[in-house]
C-alpha cells in the first residue's frame, strides 16, 4: 500500500469518526458511537499495516509516520475515555485533533522509503515510538479537556468528576511516557553507548516528564486549585510539542540531535 492511497483511507476514517462523535451527542447508548469509532480505527489501522508491509519496516521513522500513529491513537484514547467516563464531547474533541494531524500529513507529505538506518534496527524501535505516540495522544486529549475546563469553568456542574477523569488520564499518559523514555534509555545504551546524553530531544523529554510530575504532585494536595492544575497541563503539553516537533526547528538543536531521521 503506498502513500498515495492514504487520502481515501483517511477520508473513510474521518467520516466514521465524525459519525461516531455526532451520534455520541444523541441518545444514551454508547454502543453505536463506539462501533462507528472502532470501525474508523480499523480502516485507519489497515492503511498503517499496508504501509508497514510495503515499506518492509515499521512506519515510525519520519515525522509524518509518527503523525500517522498519533492520528490513530487520538480517537482510540477518546473512545476509551468515552467508554469509561461517558463524556459525550470527548469523541468530537479527539476526532477534531486527529483530523488536524491527518490534514498536515496530506498537505505536507513526507518522503517515505524503505531505508531504516542501522541505529533504528532494534527490537526497541517499535515499542519505544508506539508507546510514546499513544501517550502523546492521551496527553493531547488531556490538554483539550484542560482548555475545555478553562473556557467553560463557570458552566461545569460536576468539577470533581472532571478533575478525577483528568487525573486518571494524566496517570496513564505519564506512566506511558515514563515507559517510552526508559525504553529509549535502554536502547540508547545498546546503540550509542550511553543511556542518557542530554541530546536536545532527551532534554525536552526530561522537561516534559517533569511537567507532568509537577501536575501529579501538585494534585496530591486536597486544596490544589483546578485552574492552576489545568495551566500546568497546558504548559507541559507545550513542552511535549517542542520535544516531538519543535526540536527540528529550534536553533539550539540544529544539526545536533541524533534523533533526526527524516532525510531528503
| Nearest approach, Cβ of residue 101 and another protein (Å) | 19
Beta strands in the chain (DSSP E): none
| Nearest approach, Cβ of residue 46 and another protein (Å) | 24
Nearer to another protein, 5 or 121 (CB): 121
Round the CA-based radius of gyration of the chain to a whole number and report it: 19
Nearer to another protein, 23 or 57 (CB): 57
| Nearest approach, Cβ of residue 122 and another protein (Å) | 4
Give whole-number Cα distances, 169 to 59, 136, 153, 233, in Å. Answer: 27, 11, 19, 11
If we measure between CA atoms, which residue out of 134, 132, 142, 141 comes closest to residue 229?
142
Region of 22 on the Ramachandran plot (φ > 0 left; ψ -120 to 50 alpha; else beta): alpha
Give whole-number Cα distances, 157 to 143, 153, 224, in Å. Answer: 20, 9, 18
| Nearest approach, Cβ of residue 114 and another protein (Å) | 6
Nearer to another protein, 23 or 174 (CB): 174
If we measure between CA atoms, which residue out of 102, 114, 130, 108 comes closest to residue 8?
102
If we measure between CA atoms, which residue out of 61, 84, 57, 72 comes closest to residue 6?
72
If we measure between CA atoms, which residue out of 106, 93, 179, 191 comes closest to residue 142?
93
| Nearest approach, Cβ of residue 23 and another protein (Å) | 28
Helices (H), ranges, 153-263: 159-192, 200-218, 226-244
Nearer to another protein, 35 or 191 (CB): 191
Nearer to another protein, 151 or 164 (CB): 164
| Nearest approach, Cβ of residue 92 and another protein (Å) | 25
Query: How many angstroms separate the CA atoms of 107 and 59, rounded?
Result: 18
Do 64 and 37 contact (CB within 8 A), yes or no? no
| Nearest approach, Cβ of residue 146 and another protein (Å) | 16
Nearer to another protein, 42 or 213 (CB): 213
Binding site for another protein (CB under 8 A): 109, 111, 113-119, 121-122, 164, 167-168, 170-172, 174-176, 178-179, 182-183, 185-187, 189-196, 198, 200, 203-204, 206-207, 210-211, 213-214, 216-223, 225, 228, 239, 242, 250-253, 256, 264
Nearer to another protein, 5 or 113 (CB): 113
Amino acid at each position: 500500500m503506498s502513500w498515495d492511497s492514504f487520502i481515501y483511507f483517511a477520508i473513510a476514517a474521518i467520516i466514521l469518526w465524525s459519525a461516531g462523535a455526532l451520534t455520541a451527542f444523541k441518545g444514551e447508548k454508547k454502543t453505536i458511537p463506539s462501533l462507528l469509532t472502532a470501525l474508523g480505527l480499523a480502516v485507519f489501522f489497515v492503511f498503517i499495516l499496508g504501509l508497514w508491509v510495503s515499506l518492509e519496516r515499521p512506519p515510525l521513522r519520519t515525522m509524518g509516520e509518527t503523525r500517522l500513529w498519533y492520528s490513530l491513537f487520538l480517537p482510540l484514547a477518546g473512545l476509551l475515555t468515552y467508554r469509561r467516563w461517558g463524556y459525550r464531547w470527548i469523541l468530537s474533541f479527539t476526532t477534531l485533533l486527529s483530523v488536524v494531524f491527518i490534514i498536515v500529513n496530506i498537505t505536507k507529505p513526507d518522503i517515505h522509503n524503505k531505508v531504516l538506518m542501522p541505529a533504528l534496527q532494534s527490537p526497541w524501535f517499535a515499542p519505544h515510538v508506539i508507546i510514546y505516540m499513544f501517550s502523546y495522544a492521551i496527553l493531547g486529549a488531556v490538554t483539550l479537556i484542560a482548555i475545555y475546563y478553562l473556557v467553560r469553568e463557570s458552566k461545569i456542574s460536576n468539577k470533581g468528576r472532571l478533575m478525577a477523569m483528568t487525573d486518571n488520564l494524566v496517570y496513564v499518559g505519564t506512566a506511558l511516557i515514563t515507559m517510552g523514555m526508559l525504553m529509549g534509555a535502554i536502547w540508547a545504551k545498546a546503540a550509542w553507548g550511553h543511556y542518557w546524553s542530554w541530546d536536545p530531544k532527551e532534554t525536552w523529554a526530561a522537561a516534559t516528564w517533569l511537567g507532568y510530575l509537577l501536575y501529579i504532585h501538585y494534585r496530591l494536595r486536597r486544596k490544589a486549585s483546578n485552574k492552576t492544575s489545568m495551566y500546568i497541563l497546558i504548559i507541559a503539553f507545550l513542552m511535549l510539542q517542542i520535544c516531538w516537533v519543535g526540536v527540528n526547528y529550534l536553533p539550539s538543536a540544529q544539526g545536533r540531535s541524533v534523533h533526526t531521521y527524516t532525510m531528503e
